[in-house]
């Protein structure tokens, strides 16, 4: 009950922030501007979001947990390239579930890629997903994550593919188009992901 109100305020704040940031740019909009539109106090803003960057980055934060969860759900027999492609595709497809949601997601992506401060935060978050992905991959293939570079690099290549897709995301692109871009990106890294030697655990 109080939980629903929290969600309401957070949504209000997020919508106000995204609207202002997307139109006026990240640096010119202050937190005071955002709270003025949302109708709450400055202090309340920082109770919901750790920083100005956080409002935007959190919008895409679910992707991280999703990617790791999806990878864990894939059958172990599947080659790494296919498993990672699926893991990355699920949250990407979730961006295009409704047409209105799609365009907003694309605008947020563009804002992040074009704003240095946001881009830095985005990369930082991505690198955390990378850690989790690497741990999952190491467990999947029974590799030592401290000495074997494969898990971390494979996770990094998956993130690289995700990044490449988001960068090439043009206005008006639908789910079909995103799927094509994802396939292209993974086609590039697949030879490294599925290279023999590391991935096959000795029975």
Partner DNA sequence: CCTTTGACGGCACTGAGTGTCAATAGATGC
Partner DNA sequence: GCATCTATTGACACTCAGTGCCGTCAAAGG
Q: Which does 109 bind (CB under 5 to 8 A by kind): a second copy, DNA, none?
A: none
Provide the token pair at 174.
């639908």
Q: Is 31 in the site for DNA (CB under 7 A)?
A: yes
Q: Tell which one of 65, 73, 139, 188 touches a second copy (CB under 8 A).
A: 188
Nearest distance, CB of residue 107 and DNA, angstroms: 20
Q: Which two tokens stand for residue 7?
A: 């969600």
51 binds a second copy (CB under 8 A): no
DSSP state of 25: -
171 binds a second copy (CB under 8 A): no
Q: Is 191 in the site for a second copy (CB under 8 A)?
A: yes
The two structure tokens encoding residue 172: 């008006």
Contacts made by residues 3-9, CB under 8 angstroms, sequence distance 24+ = 6/48, 9/38, 9/40, 9/44, 9/48
Do 47 and 10 contact (CB within 8 A), yes or no? no
Site string (142-181) toward DNA, x via CB under 7 A: ----------------------------------------
Answer yes or no whether residue 47 interacts with DNA by CB under 7 A: yes
CA–CA gap between residue 198 and residue 148 (Å, rounded): 9
121 binds a second copy (CB under 8 A): yes
Q: Are 191 and 159 in contact (CB under 8 A)?
A: no
Closest to a second copy by CB, 41 or 195: 195
- Read off the tokens for 68: 């790791």
**Residues 6+ away with beta carbon under 8 Å from 191:** none
Q: Is 202 exposed, middle or buried (0-12, 13-18, 19+ CB in 10 A)?
A: exposed
Q: Does 4 bind DNA (CB under 7 A)?
A: no
Residues that bind a second copy (CB under 8 A): 116, 119-121, 123-124, 127, 149-150, 152-154, 156-157, 160-161, 163-164, 167-168, 181, 184-185, 188-193, 195, 198
Residues that bind DNA (CB under 7 A): 1-2, 5-6, 9, 29-32, 39-44, 46-48, 50-53
């Amino acid at each position: 009950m109080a939980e629903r109100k929290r969600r309401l305020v957070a949504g209000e704040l997020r919508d106000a922030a995204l609207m202002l940031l997307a139109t006026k740019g990240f640096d010119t909009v202050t937190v005071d501007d955002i709270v003025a539109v949302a109708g709450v106090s400055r202090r309340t803003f920082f109770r919901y979001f750790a920083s100005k960057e956080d409002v935007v980055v959190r919008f895409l934060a679910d992707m991280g947990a999703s990617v790791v969860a999806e990878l864990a759900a894939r059958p172990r027999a599947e080659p790494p390239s296919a498993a990672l492609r699926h893991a990355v595709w699920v949250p990407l497809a979730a961006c295009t579930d409704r047409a209105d949601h799609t365009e907003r997601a694309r605008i947020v992506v563009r804002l992040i890629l074009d704003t240095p401060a946001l881009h830095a935060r985005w990369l930082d978050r991505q690198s955390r997903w990378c850690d989790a992905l690497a741990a999952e991959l190491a467990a999947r293939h029974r590799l030592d994550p401290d000495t074997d570079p494969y898990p971390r690099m494979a996770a990094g290549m998956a993130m690289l593919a995700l990044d490449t897709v988001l960068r090439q995301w043009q206005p008006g692109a639908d789910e079909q188009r995103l799927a094509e871009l994802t396939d292209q990106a993974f086609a590039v890294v697949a030879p490294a992901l599925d290279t023999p030697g590391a991935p096959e655990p000795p029975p």
